[in-house]
């Protein structure tokens, strides 16, 4: 579905950072399919074998997420000014900044701030120089343990990742105020969908439970998972919010979710229905002392000011995603 008229994007140049990652790659293919006359520049550090102290990969960008993409691809690190300088040759109209350390369990505060906050400032300076609109990924993690409805302006991050994203939001507001820049920050809630497989352990529970089921195992959940609710949002709705942000004559920070929280039990049950299984559920004790049991994005301003309207219920999203989960299982998991 197109959210902006073709003539508004014809001969425009779009930069996507983190383009080989989950959301970045979906944006890249959206433009390629719907706006073929738009020039898309994909910028990503791509995957290496480097890992954080928690054992997770430092970069989730993977070439397989961009197979079929026909635009320009630049391998670069957003924290290195010499890499960003390669973008000077392009007349950029829009920047979709998806590159970040998105692993909420990373404890290295220095690298989190350098990557998520300091590099963001460099990109804002680049956007200012190019007179480009900046649309960037913020996060529902900024809210921490605040009660639902999670609302912009009431935040309490509980990890350095959430803190870094809140810092980005505060900096963006300052740039809007001081320089009159056009900047939209999108606070994603629990996103699931195509091209998340290479996030490994940080991929959504929709994918993780789906792969468990396809391997012949009952989905594993905490006891009382029917009472643990999250605002799960399908990737197509995330893309919608990003594209609408291009055309909206507003700046600010907006939540992107469905505002209809669903339980982890719902995910398992819907998956079993779509995958044609009946393995019941394997329950175990929740090992976390502090665990948020409810998130629900307040999307009133997102709908009003961006024109956003969530189109995928959890049932719709999983139904649409099911064939891709099966493909991932057959091509990436089954024979490993």
- In a domain, residue 269? The reply is no
pLDDT of 141 higher than 90 = yes
pLDDT of residue 1: 87
List phi, psi (to 5°) of 223.
-55, 145
pLDDT band at 174 (very low <50, low <70, confident <90, very high): very high
- In a domain, residue 212? The reply is no
- In a domain, residue 150? The reply is yes
Question: How far apart, in whole angstroms, are the C-alpha atoms of residue 25 and residue 19?
Answer: 5
pTM: 0.97
- In a domain, residue 128? The reply is yes
List the CATH number of the domain containing 60: 3.40.50.720
Q: How many domains does the chain have?
A: 1
163 or 6, which is more confident: 163
Average pLDDT over residues 161-169: 98
* pLDDT tens digit sequence for 7-27: 889 999 999 999 999 999 999
Q: 46-50, 64-68, 132-136, 219-223 — which is least confidently predicted?
A: 46-50
**What percentage of the chain exceeds 90 in pLDDT?**
91
Q: DSSP states of 247-310 as a string?
A: H-S--EEEEES-S--EEHHHHHHHHHHHHT-----EEE----SS---B--B--HHIIIII----
Residues 125 and 86: beta-carbon distance below 8 Å? no
**Enclosing domain of residue 138:** 11-193+232-258+291-312
- In a domain, residue 333? The reply is no
- What six digits make up the tokens of 307? 């024109």
- In a domain, residue 105? The reply is yes
3-state secondary structure of 106: coil
Angle, helix 314-328 to helix 264-275, in steps of 10 degrees: 60
Buried b (16+ CB within 10 A) or exposed e, 182-208: bbbbbbbbbbbbbbbbbbeebbbbbbb
Instruction: Quote the DSSP letter at residue 195.
Output: T
pLDDT band at 53 (very low <50, low <70, confident <90, very high): confident
Angle at 87 between CA 86 and CA 92, to 5 degrees: 165
**What percentage of the chain exceeds 70 in pLDDT?**
100
Q: Which residues contact 48 (CB under 8 A, 6 or more apart)?
A: 58, 59
- Of 148, 140, 192, 111, nearest in space to 295 by CA: 148
pLDDT of residue 100: 96
Question: How far apart, in whole angstroms, are the C-alpha atoms of residue 309 and residue 303?
Answer: 6
- In a domain, residue 72? The reply is yes
* pLDDT tens digit sequence for 188-234: 999 999 999 999 999 999 999 999 999 999 999 999 999 999 999 99
Residues 261 and 295: beta-carbon distance below 8 Å? yes
For the beta carbon of residue 51, count every other beta carbon within 10 angstroms.
11
Q: What residues act catalytically?
A: 161, 199
- In a domain, residue 335? The reply is no
The mean pLDDT of the chain is 96
Average pLDDT over residues 86-109: 95
pLDDT of 68 higher than 80 = yes
């Amino acid at each position: 579905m197109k959210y902006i008229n073709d003539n508004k994007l014809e001969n425009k140049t779009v930069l996507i950072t983190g383009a080989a990652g989950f959301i970045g790659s979906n944006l890249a293919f959206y433009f390629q399919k719907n706006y073929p006359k738009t020039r898309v520049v994909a910028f990503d550090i791509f995957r290496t074998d480097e890992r954080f102290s928690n054992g997770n990969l430092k970069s989730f960008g993977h070439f397989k997420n961009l197979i079929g993409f026909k635009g320009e691809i630049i391998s670069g690190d957003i924290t290195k000014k010499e890499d960003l300088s390669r973008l000077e040759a392009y007349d950029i109209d829009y920047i979709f900044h998806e590159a970040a350390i998105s692993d909420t369990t990373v404890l290295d505060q220095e690298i989190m701030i350098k990557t998520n906050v300091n590099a963001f400032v460099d990109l804002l300076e680049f956007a200012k120089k190019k007179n480009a609109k900046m649309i960037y990924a913020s996060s529902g993690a900024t809210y921490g343990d605040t009660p639902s409805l999670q609302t912009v302006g009431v935040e309490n991050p509980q990890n350095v990742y959430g803190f870094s994203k809140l810092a980005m939001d505060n900096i963006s507001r300052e740039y809007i105020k001081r320089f009159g820049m056009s900047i939209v920050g999108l606070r994603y809630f629990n996103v699931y969908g195509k091209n998340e497989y290479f996030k490994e352990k940080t991929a959504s529970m929709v994918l993780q439970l789906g792969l468990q089921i396809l391997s012949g195992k009952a989905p594993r959940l905490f006891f009382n998972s029917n009472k643990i609710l999250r605002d799960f949002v399908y990737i197509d709705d995330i893309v919608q919010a990003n594209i609408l942000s291009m055309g909206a004559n507003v700046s600010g920070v907006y939540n992107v979710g469905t505002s209809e929280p669903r339980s982890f039990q719902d995910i398992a049950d819907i998956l079993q229905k779509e995958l044609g299984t009946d393995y019941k559920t394997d329950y175990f004790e929740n090992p976390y002392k502090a665990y948020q049991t409810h998130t629900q994005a307040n999307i009133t301003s997102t709908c009003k000011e961006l024109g956003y309207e969530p189109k995928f219920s959890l049932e719709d999203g999983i139904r649409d995603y099911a064939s891709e989960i099966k493909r991932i299982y057959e091509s990436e998991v089954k024979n490993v």
